[in-house]
Amino acid sequence: MTAARRQTVFAGLDQPQAWPPTPRAPRAQRLDAPVESLGGVGAALARRLAKLGLASVRDVLEHRPRRYETAADEVRIAALPHDEEVVVVGEVLNVERRPLRGRRTLVRARVSDGSATVSAQWFNQPWLADQLRPGSRVRLRGKLGRFGFDVRSYDLGEARATADFAPVYPAAEEIAAKTVRRVVDAALPFARDVLDPLPAELRQRESLPLKRDALAAIHTPASLDEAERGRQRLAFEELLLLQVGIARRAAEREHTLAASLGEPGELIRRYREALPFALTPYQEQAIRELDGDLASTVPMQRLLQGDVGSGKTVVALYALLRAVENGRQGALMAPTETLAEQHFLTIADLCLELGVTCALLTSSSPKRDRDAAAHADVVVGTHALIQEGVELRDLAVAVVDEQHRFGVEQRAALVHGRAPHILHMTATPIPRTLALTVYGDLAVSEIAKPPASRKPIVTSWITEDRASEAYVRLTRLLGEGRQAYVVCPLIEASETSLARAAEEEAERLRRAELREFRVGCLHGRLRPADRRDLMARFTAHELDVLVATTVIEVGVDVANATVMIVQEADRFGLAQLHQLRGRVGRGAEQSYCVLVSRARDELTESAQARLQALCDTTDGFRLAETDLELRGGGALLGTRQSGLSDFRFAHVLRDRELLERARTASREVGPGPLQDAVDALFAAVEPQTLA
Ligand code: ADP
Ligand code: MG
């Protein structure tokens, strides 16, 4: 690979003085024309295309096929093999349409090519019965099955949908794949108006085709290889733009000043002594890395990632105390009030012991208390609140927990005006590639393993009809003095109806399975004081079971809680289940998590895969990757809206090598069209996103 690339560099030395003129000069503005400007696209179709995000000619050109047809042999009907994808060409003899059970329909056509006839069938496309007139010629791609020829794609006339390597666009309810293909065909001639933002020299060094050729290749490839080379070219540009933008941001930060916090001192020494355990090597490593950052006047931007329960909070408090021992303030920001309260409970005692003032700042605290809280050495609060202009007199270190929940946007807003050192913490492990792409300007510290005393959580998956077994096991463990969480189903509903459902479930359990135990109910509708009180009672083991909505997802930390039952677990996402599960397994006792799902045949394949993955591993990084595989690269960690992680062509898991190449290339990009493209990309995102 390297050798090949080097060769093209030398080839690049022989560039001619002037290139031969192209038949007509490209006109980039044509690409911004609305889809209606394309032949055969009227207002109604334009509206439907808009729902696919296709508004301009450019959008259509950049609409990526989901997959391609394979190469399939054209065979005579008399020689049709069973169960192998092939193409047949013939004439329609007759057509029938039949309703099936449910609201399904079947269209059947007898087709002959002179050698024999076959019965071709389509499901749920009733309108086809009118198009397939007797006597019309058809080209069908599909497989011979038990009841006839199952048609996968078809053409009336010329081979397009059935051609080898024909692009297959993402299905949409509103619009037939065939129509999308027709619109793309109409847009393709405009590919030559696409200017290539990549410098020619870079393109040659990386052996990348011209952008317009790449676009043509993804829509009309002559082979799968060609389609993939086109995709890689486009993915490379996406990754490069992002990397250049991120590098710019990092450079801007170099010009901002933060206080240098020097070396750790007396307070830190006492903190280490006060901890009831020795730090793990991973924690020590993270601390060394952040000490290095804090000694500098460049504001720290570090991501501390580690699985749930890996011991990040200890490191976070360390960072906050580094501010305090320099006479400055530290702030710990959480996404929700419950989590803020939980963090506060976790660190308040330790702070007291060290003579450090620590205050909780929530939207429910009265104005007077807020002002007082804002003067504490360590302030714990919700991100929203701290951001909304509570003046922290002398903030030097901010820890932002669960970064992904804020998205990229808020993390920037905080930096505005003041320049504290910032440590972002996340318990949703982000695969390393993704961390590089989305948070590319952050240095990353990783707590790869939890404290050694942890036992992996034993996870099992059962269906509803066996749920009673789970409660039998639960009552036994409760009888032995353990505590438990029961997580209520996640229904698409308001906070209020979720709360009601949780209350009802708690009531039901108090009367039935758990009547001998003390059951509390935690949900988002409780007043903060009540919620705090409930958590404190659970922590003090005045309650055995906490029935909860997903408000316990993050931060709740009770080592004696060793059992979790998740009801209708199939409704939850993989990352969310992993987060939930992280509430148990926090002490030395063996912990259990039971996932209760609906009946197997009611579950989607992806739901089954999620539940199985959770039983198979407790490794958050592996689960995060599985999650990405199951969901595709698009919707990631709630940053989708930001546009920055929303790739059309790049695949964050598979394109690792491409990403590295883009990173390397980004260091030497001079002024030119590429920089303009970066401006355009980053301007499309809200400006504050990029502060
Ligand atoms: P995270 O924030 O990463 O989810 P925490 O910092 O809350 O994890 O730690 C989880 C639990 O492990 C806490 O009860 C904490 O006191 C404990 N813990 C943290 N570090 C260590 C360590 N080095 N040895 C033993 N226990 C630890
Ligand atoms: Mg924690």
Side-chain half-sphere exposure of 486, counting CA atoms within 13 A: 29
CA 323 – ligand 1 centroid, Å? 21
- Could you tell me if the CB of 661 is within 6 A of ligand 1? no
CA 457 – ligand 1 centroid, Å? 15
pLDDT at 408: 38
Say which ligand is closest to the CA of 313.
Answer: 1
Residues in the chain: 691
> Tens digits of per-residue pLDDT, 638-671?
333 333 445 788 876 678 788 889 988 988 887 7
> Tens digits of per-residue pLDDT, 23-68?
567 787 889 999 999 988 999 999 989 888 899 999 999 998 888 8
Angle at the Cα of 36 from the Cα atoms of 30 and 40, rounded to 5 degrees: 115
Q: Which residues are CB-neighbours of 142 under 8 A, at least 6 positions away?
A: 85, 86, 120, 149, 150, 151, 152, 153
Mutual angle of helices 211-219 and 224-254, in 10-degree steps: 130
- Could you tell me if the CB of 588 is within 6 A of ligand 1? no
Q: Which residues are CB-neighbours of 449 under 8 A, at least 6 positions away?
A: 280, 282, 310
CA 177 – ligand 2 centroid, Å? 47
Give me 203's structure tokens.
């393109």
pLDDT at 490: 66
Q: Which secondary structure element, helix H or strand E, spans residue 367, and what is its range? A: helix 367-373
**Strands 592-597 and 561-566: what pairing?**
parallel
Please answer whether residues 148 and 27 qualify as being in contact, where contact means their C-beta atoms are separated by less than 8 angstroms: no
Long-range contacts formed by 499-505: CB under 8 A, 24+ apart:
499/523, 499/524, 499/525, 499/526, 499/549, 501/549, 502/547, 502/548, 502/549, 505/547, 505/567
Give me 303's structure tokens.
């991501």
Nearest residue to 553 (alpha-carbon basis) of 536, 573, 537, 533: 573
Counting from 1 in the atom list of ligand 1, the atom nearest the Cα of 306 is 3
Please answer whether residues 159 and 139 qualify as being in contact, where contact means their C-beta atoms are separated by less than 8 angstroms: yes
> Tens digits of per-residue pLDDT, 399-421?
988 754 333 333 444 444 457 89
Q: Which residues are CB-neighbours of 406 under 8 A, at least 6 positions away?
A: 335, 383, 400
- Could you tell me if the CB of 314 is within 6 A of ligand 1? yes
Please answer whether residues 545 and 486 qualify as being in contact, where contact means their C-beta atoms are separated by less than 8 angstroms: yes
Residue 164 has pLDDT above 90, yes or no: no
CA dihedral 394, 300, 624, 230 (to 10 degrees): 130
Average pLDDT over the chain reads 82
CA 628 – ligand 2 centroid, Å? 24
pLDDT at 174: 67
The Cα 86–Cα 120 span in angstroms is 13
CA 253 – ligand 2 centroid, Å? 28
- Could you tell me if the CB of 555 is within 6 A of ligand 1? no
CA 233 – ligand 1 centroid, Å? 45
Say which ligand is closest to the CA of 342.
Answer: 2
CA 617 – ligand 1 centroid, Å? 20
The Cα 245–Cα 321 span in angstroms is 33
Please answer whether residues 362 and 334 qualify as being in contact, where contact means their C-beta atoms are separated by less than 8 angstroms: no
- Could you tell me if the CB of 312 is within 6 A of ligand 1? yes
CA 522 – ligand 1 centroid, Å? 23
Say which ligand is closest to the CA of 558.
Answer: 1
pTM: 0.62
- Could you tell me if the CB of 308 is within 6 A of ligand 1? yes
What Å distances lie between residue 269 and 59, 265, 324, 670, CA to CA? 58, 6, 13, 48
What is the 8-class DSSP label of residue 408? H
Counting from 1 in the atom list of ligand 1, the atom nearest the Cα of 312 is 3
Q: How many other C-beta atoms are found inside a 10 Å radius of the C-beta of residue 288?
A: 10
Angle at the Cα of 580 from the Cα atoms of 572 and 503, rounded to 5 degrees: 80
Residue 564 has pLDDT above 90, yes or no: yes
Cα 298 to chain centroid distance, Å, stands at 30
pLDDT band at 462 (very low <50, low <70, confident <90, very high): very high
The mean pLDDT value for 414-432 works out to 69
Give me 558's structure tokens.
């009770």
Ligand 1, pocket-test mutation among 284, 313, 539, 558, most atoms within 8 A of CB: 313
Mutual angle of helices 574-581 and 605-616, in 10-degree steps: 30
Ligand 1, pocket-test mutation among 314, 453, 621, most atoms within 8 A of CB: 314
- Could you tell me if the CB of 446 is within 6 A of ligand 1? no
